[in-house]
Amino acid sequence: MTHAMSLVLRADPGPAMLSAAPIPAAGGMSAGEILVVLAAIAVVLARWLPPAARRWTAIGSMIALVAGAASTAAGMRWQLLLVLAGGLLAAAGIGAGRLMRRRSGRADRRARWWVALPGSLACLGLITGGAVAAVALPVPAFPQPSGPFAVGTTVTQWTDPDREETATAEADGGRTVVVQFWYPALPGSPDAPRAQYLGRTREEADTVAAAAAGYLGIPGLVLDGPTRARTHAVHDAAPAAGRFPVVLFSPGLGGVRTQNTAWAEELASRGYLVAGVDHPYDSAAVMLADGRTLRTRIAAGGDRAEDARRRLGWTTVRASDLSFVLTQLGRLDRGEIPGPFTGRLDTGRVAATGHSLGGAAAMWAAHRDPRFTAVINLDGGPEPAQGPLRQPVLAVTHEAVDQADADYIAALSKVLDEGAATGYRLTVPGSAHLTFTDGPLYLPPVPALTGSLGRTEAVRMTTDTCAAFLDATLRGQPVDLPGTLSRHGDLRVHPPTSRP
């Protein structure tokens, strides 16, 4: 007999849970960028000062503006070009006015205020618009991992000769995936270069960002900040001693392997090896070792039944990718694939995880492959055909705001009710679909887009809940899991199914 009873724990929505993360002192801008903004404003205001102060204020402000621009020239963001334009136009106006007054012999008089005011307001508009855009779309600052290990990262590419690529008619000799590892590493030099975000190189990061922006239908400038970011991991750092539990990660539809880098680095610092998988022809852009870039071919057709069939096909391919990667990790640990991870991977303790469609793929993979020990689904709806799971599951969701959300949460609860191990469904107040990714670190703080938890608090919530679940399920540590999870939202605990 199926036991579908569930226990509900409701978090106390006190100040500790609802407080926003502290805003960085620089507000998402570097010291040089702040100097440019302040100097540009001072140039505009100089026009309205008394004659005795006007000239020297304008000169000093222009010197500061040039100095600030020079300090950011190597990596100047497009937002600062608006600020510079405002400051330079104001300076040009002051210079032009002074020249005209000299030629007319009336050097002690300024243009009437109602003539100069529109120009000053236009310059301030450019400066303010650029500054607001710089703060709203920052270069992401990744949280410092809190665990005892340094973090290394490396990228590999594997081809499964037993599966043909179904997304293209070209005979490629098998299904290829690109996998990025984040892993516990030995301490290295503090001056070691940190890994580029979104790709192995800036070129790859630019390609991925452009493809992701195109997939989302947003201007490429929105993702300019992430391409400039560096993370805390060091490429090809020597792995730390020991055997580490494994966490496989599948990104959202059109997402990329690096979309949860902050989460992956935190878990790696706590002693897990995280393997993020790029699914070719599904991820926005996948750059292969031979230089080819494979872009997504996933698209909805508009017919509900056909789209459901396609989604099941995509989910099945992703689930097979996860199982294939797990097989390769076993070979890597045994030394059948050369590399630094021989004897380092505990492939008997493995979690299938993912975001959105990747979360559905993680559940689908765990249903089909008993080698997975636990499952984490970050805001992903299960497939209608999803069967009960043997493994413990953590499902983290945003709040239901419409009927579609309510239906998705109901379907998820049904799967957890039927499971053979304890399931946890955590609904996080103030969250949105992208809350559970790196998105809050660099996207505009729009609640419908990234939630209202704050840039760093959103990432902290996701990493803390997942780490607690993994510590309990993969490591068997005595974690008060219901108490820990319920501090972050409304928790429903689904006891294991009882059968005669």
Show the low-confidence residues of the chain (pLDDT under 50).
1-26, 499-500
Residue 425 covered by a domain? yes
Q: Answer whether 293's CB lies under 8 Å from 199's CB.
A: no
pLDDT, position 116: 77
pTM: 0.90
CATH at 283: 3.40.50.1820
Domain end marker among 78, 112, 136: 136
DSSP state of 435: G
Please tell me whether residues 84 and 158 are part of one structural domain: no
The residue segments making up the domain with residue 298 are 150-494
Please tell me whether residues 124 and 222 are part of one structural domain: no
Please tell me whether residues 154 and 131 are part of one structural domain: no
pLDDT, position 4: 38
What is the tally of structural domains in the chain?
Answer: 2
Please tell me whether residues 102 and 235 are part of one structural domain: no
Residues 392-432 pLDDT 10s: 999 999 999 999 999 999 999 999 999 999 999 999 999 99
pLDDT, position 110: 54
Please tell me whether residues 126 and 191 are part of one structural domain: no
Please tell me whether residues 123 and 181 are part of one structural domain: no
Residue 23 covered by a domain? no
Angle at 251 between CA 248 and CA 252, to 5 degrees: 145
pLDDT, position 51: 76
Residue with structure tokens 């609802």? 18
Please tell me whether residues 355 and 270 are part of one structural domain: yes
Give bridge partners of residue 230 from the DSSP assignment.
196
Residue 141 covered by a domain? no
Residue 145 covered by a domain? no
Kind plus residue range of the DSSP H or E element containing 318 = helix 304-334
Please tell me whether residues 235 and 87 are part of one structural domain: no
Residue 209 covered by a domain? yes
Q: Residue 401: CA atoms inside 13 Å, Cβ hemisphere, count?
A: 12
Domain end marker among 136, 161, 187: 136
Please tell me whether residues 197 and 85 are part of one structural domain: no
Residue 210 covered by a domain? yes
Please tell me whether residues 316 and 375 are part of one structural domain: yes
Residue 199 covered by a domain? yes
Residues 281-328 pLDDT 10s: 999 999 999 999 999 988 766 788 888 888 899 999 999 999 999 999
Terminal C-alpha separation, the chain? 6
C-alpha to C-alpha distances, 173 to 165, 281, 283, 291, nearest whole angstrom: 8, 16, 20, 17
pLDDT, position 15: 30
Residue 17 covered by a domain? no
Question: Residue 276, by phi and psi: left (phi above 0), alpha (psi -120 to 50) or beta?
Answer: beta
Please tell me whether residues 164 and 214 are part of one structural domain: yes
Please tell me whether residues 125 and 156 are part of one structural domain: no
Domain end marker among 88, 112, 136: 136
